[in-house]
Amino acid sequence: MIIKSISRLLIWSLVFFVFDKADAQSLNDVGIGRILSLKLDAETAFPGYFGSNFYYANDKKALVYYNQISSSLKYFDPSSGITLGETKLQTMGPNSVGQEPYYSHYHTKDSIFVFARFGKLALTLVNGKGDKIGEFDFGSESDFSKVPYPRMSNAFGGMEVVGSKIYMGLQVAHNLYNNTKAPVIIIDMKTGEYKYLNRPIPYADVNFKRLPKSGQFEFFEARLMVDRTDGSLVLTYPVPGNIFKISEGIVKKIDLESKELVGSFNFLKSDNSTYTTRDTDYTKMIMTNPRNLGFLYDSYKNVYYVIRKVKGDPKSYDKMINGLGKFYYKYLYEVYDNGFNLLDSKIISAEHLVPNKGIVVSPEGLWVLKPQGDDENIMKLALLNFNFVKN
């Protein structure tokens, strides 16, 4: 009897061991390497729908996460995942960054830029203690003739700071008439002056009525990246085929090598007045359409990472709607050298990684947030295994 029980226990242990190893192998097979578990304190939670900002603080050797719910930047040890400290932002009083700060950009330990949803059209600069040390206004030209409301794009690519210049990537106006310039503001920190980038005007050759709007304007977030080697700006609009490199005022459209992997974009019919956001065909179009997320610059390896959502399978979507299956987005992760030569690429399901929620470059490479697991006090980042040598 005892021998029978022990045998049964050994067999089941072997079964669990095999399946556990199989699961670990599957993550490696899809291109995921090290997993870092960040231990969250009582006031820190996984990002909401629009994601949040992650950075690598070179001067602190720490991972930085902007916890919107407590308006604070949390610092984590990149080896152990334990919390090292925080910078608490103030929303009232003399150190106020505005109400509902939702975008923070860690530049150095005493230079943190913050943009708030309400209160002011300005970037607030705070130090590591959260004390306000500067402010950069961009509201004096607020006739909203250029963009409906200067609002930074979410999660990443909404801001870069290089030298004395701040580059802000904003949402595209969702009608043709407000888009007279690119949704990019460049602020000179020395003079305080700011200007909009003149070109490229977003979707200049598209009938805006044919762009699915969606409730969250997912086709309207422009993201930018500055290549520190030549100072050029790479600007991405979500609709595929809209990637631009801007250098000394010259705008060049970039065609990435792997565009076929992303799939073709479906526009609405030109007489789309019958579509509503609750129309199944409309939501299917939004959910399955491919889109660009954006670029990230890796200064450690001198490469660009590009993340794009791959066209979804409409049949899988239909099954999901009818409760007959699951539907996951798939994302294409690519790494290019700064001549836009493709070095490596991977397609990974959102079942494993959610780049729209959080993504960061560290000396080790590109980390992407994993979906929230059962333990809400743990948030995991996964390091992608790329081949950085061109074949």
Partner 1 sequence: MSIKYLALIFIFIFFISCDSTFEKENHPFIQMLNSADLDIESRFVLFIPQNGCPSCIKKTYSFILDHTDNKDVSYVFTHYSTKKAIKIYLNSMEVADEGNFYFLKKSLGDKYDLSMMYPTLLETTSSGRVKTVLMNSDDYSDWQSLENSL
Residue ranges that bind partner 1, judged by CB under 8 A: 42-43, 45-49, 69-70, 117, 215-216, 277-278, 320-321, 323, 357, 372, 376-377
User: Of 286 and 293, which has the nearer Cβ to partner 1?
Assistant: 286
User: Of 2 and 42, which has the nearer Cβ to partner 1?
Assistant: 42
Smallest distance, Å, CB 363 to partner 1? 29
In order of 35, 85, 131, 356, the CA distances from 368 in angstroms are: 10, 22, 30, 9
* Distance between CA atoms of residues 234 and 301, nearest Å: 18
Smallest distance, Å, CB 43 to partner 1? 6
Largest Cα–Cα distance of the chain, in whole Å?
Answer: 84
Phi–psi pair at 363, nearest 5 degrees: -60, -25
* CA-only gyration radius of the chain, Å: 22
User: Of 101 and 263, which has the nearer Cβ to partner 1?
Assistant: 101
- b or e along 352-380 (b: 16 or more beta carbons within 10 Å of the residue's beta carbon)? bbbbbbbbbbbeebbbbbbeeeeeeeebb
Count other C-beta atoms under 10 Å from residue 186's C-beta. Answer: 16
User: Of 111 and 316, which has the nearer Cβ to partner 1?
Assistant: 316
User: Of 41 and 257, which has the nearer Cβ to partner 1?
Assistant: 41
SS3 245: strand
* Distance between CA atoms of residues 110 and 130, nearest Å: 9
- b or e along 85-122 (b: 16 or more beta carbons within 10 Å of the residue's beta carbon)? ebbebbbeeebbbbeebbbbbbbebebbbbbbeeebbb
Smallest distance, Å, CB 116 to partner 1? 13
Nearest to 221 by CA among 272, 184, 167: 184
In order of 77, 109, 134, 362, the CA distances from 63 in angstroms are: 6, 12, 24, 8
User: Of 52 and 345, which has the nearer Cβ to partner 1?
Assistant: 52
Smallest distance, Å, CB 152 to partner 1? 14
Smallest distance, Å, CB 143 to partner 1? 23
Helices assigned H by DSSP within the chain: 2-29, 259-262, 280-288, 314-321
Residue with tokens 């949704």: 183
Smallest distance, Å, CB 326 to partner 1? 9
User: Of 34 and 117, which has the nearer Cβ to partner 1?
Assistant: 117
Smallest distance, Å, CB 376 to partner 1? 4
User: Of 18 and 69, which has the nearer Cβ to partner 1?
Assistant: 69
293 sits in which H/E element: strand 291-298
Smallest distance, Å, CB 322 to partner 1? 9
